[in-house]
Amino acid sequence: MWHLFSKNGDQVQAAAGVGSHFIFNNLLQFAWTMLFVRGHFFWSEVILVVNFFNLSSLYFRHNTYARAIHIPAVSGPLAWNFVALYWNGAIAVNAHTLPARILANIAIWGILVYGLFFLIIFKVCCLSNRVDGFSNRVDEF
C-alpha cells in the first residue's frame, strides 16, 4: 500500500501491477477459510488450486519487481498457498492409511522441486542485491 503513494513512478506502477491478483488472492483466501473451518475440504482444495494458478500467473508476470513489493504480495502468498495445497489435500483425502502416508512422503519433495525451479529459472530475485533498478537501501522505500 505504501508504494502506491510513492514519488517514484516505477514503484507506483509495480504496486498497481500486482493489485488485481493480490485482491483476488485475498478473496480466495477468505473463501478457503470459510470452507475449511466448516469442513468442506474438497471445495476448499478447489479454491486453493484456483488461487495457486492466480498467484503463479502473478509471479510469472511480475517476477522482477522490488523486494518490498515482491515478497509480501507475490512470493509470500505463493509459498503459503503451495504448502496449503498439501496440507488441505491431506485432510481432504483423510490421509491416515499407509499408502496415503507413503504418497505424502513422496509428494512432500515437491516443495523442494518447486523451490529449486524458482531458484534456477528466476535466480531467486528476492535474494539479490538489486532488482529491476531498485537498490537495497531502506530510505528509497
- Between 124 and 41, residue with greater pLDDT: 41
Predicted pLDDT at 13: 66
Average pLDDT, integer, range 33-38: 96
- Between 119 and 141, residue with greater pLDDT: 119
Predicted pLDDT at 113: 86
DSSP the chain: -GGGG-S-HHHHHHHHHHHHHHHHHHHHHHHHHHHHHTT-HHHHHHHHHHHHHHHHHHHHHSTTS-HHHHIIIIIHHHHHHHHHHHHHHHHHTT--SHHHHHHHHHHTHHHHHHHHHHHHHH--GGGSS-BTTB-S-GGG-
Predicted pLDDT at 123: 65
pLDDT, tens digit (0-9, with 9 covering 90-100), for 92-128: 888 788 888 888 888 888 888 887 887 787 666 554 3
